[in-house]
Amino acid sequence: MPALKHWLYMKEVLIVAEWTALKNIDPHCFACGQGNAHGLHMRFFSDGERVRSRLIIPGHLRGWHTLVHGGVLATILDEAMSWAAIHLTGRFILTQEMTVRFKKPVRIEEEVRVESCVAERISPRKALLKAEIRNSSGDICAESSGVFALFTAEAFTRMNLVPENMLDAMNQSMWRSA
């Protein structure tokens, strides 16, 4: 294989290897459920330090005219921080608090990219997450930070939020790649 072709091939292999698709658990989740007819159908990828997703926000989620509703952007940020919290800390999570800064309008039907990471492991039970949404020009349109409560599988079971059989299934597959 000529050197340039080989280099491009290796680059592609590395890029694919760098960002691994994360396994989806709940098909009904508004943000990541692939079976939710009204949802955002987000799919997530991780490089081990960050989590990211690309999506086109459907027209029915608009606020003003062709602009995406701010609450929808907050949901996207919350979801991205949640997946980062789960995958990068290896814990079940609940969003405890979050702040959002809306910096530029986002248009419906435009591709956006969201990226998130753990900014600080505050304690064994708490982490600070950050996320940002960029438009197709690469501008940061919204950014967030949030405190997430972290739970072991046993502690999350005690919270009684998700049926135990579903939690078991999640616990077995959540930390693996798709």
Please state, in angstroms and rounded to a whole number, the distance separating the CA atoms of residues 81 and 95. Answer: 9
Residue 94 as a binder of ligand MYA (CB under 6 A): the answer is yes
Shortest distance, CB of residue 73 to ligand MYA, whole angstroms? 14
Of 16-45, binders to ligand MYA (CB under 6 A) are 22-23, 25-26, 29, 32
Q: Is 150 helix (H, G, I), strand (E, B) or coil?
A: strand
Candidate ranges 7-15, 52-60, 111-119, 147-155; the one touching ligand MYA (CB under 6 A): 147-155
Among 125, 136, 140, 168, binds ligand MYA (CB under 6 A): 125
Shortest distance, CB of residue 142 to ligand MYA, whole angstroms? 17
Amino acid at 138: G
Q: Count CB-CB contacts under 10 A for residue 117.
A: 19
Farthest-apart Cα atoms in the chain, separation: 59
Residue 100 as a binder of ligand MYA (CB under 6 A): the answer is no
Q: Name residue, tokens 């800390």.
A: 89
Shortest distance, CB of residue 17 to ligand MYA, whole angstroms? 20
How buried is 146 (Cβ within 10 angstroms: 0-12 exposed, 13-18 middle, 19+ buried)? buried
Task: Give kind and range of the element (H or E) at residue 10.
Answer: helix 3-18
Residue 89 as a binder of ligand MYA (CB under 6 A): the answer is no
Q: Name residue, tokens 């248009």.
A: 107
Of 53-82, binders to ligand MYA (CB under 6 A) are 78-79, 82
- Quick check: 140 and 121 in contact, CB under 8 A? no
Closer residue to ligand MYA in complex, CB, 140/178:
178
Site for ligand MYA, rule CB under 6 A: 22-23, 25-26, 29, 32, 78-79, 82-83, 86, 94-96, 125, 149-151, 155, 174
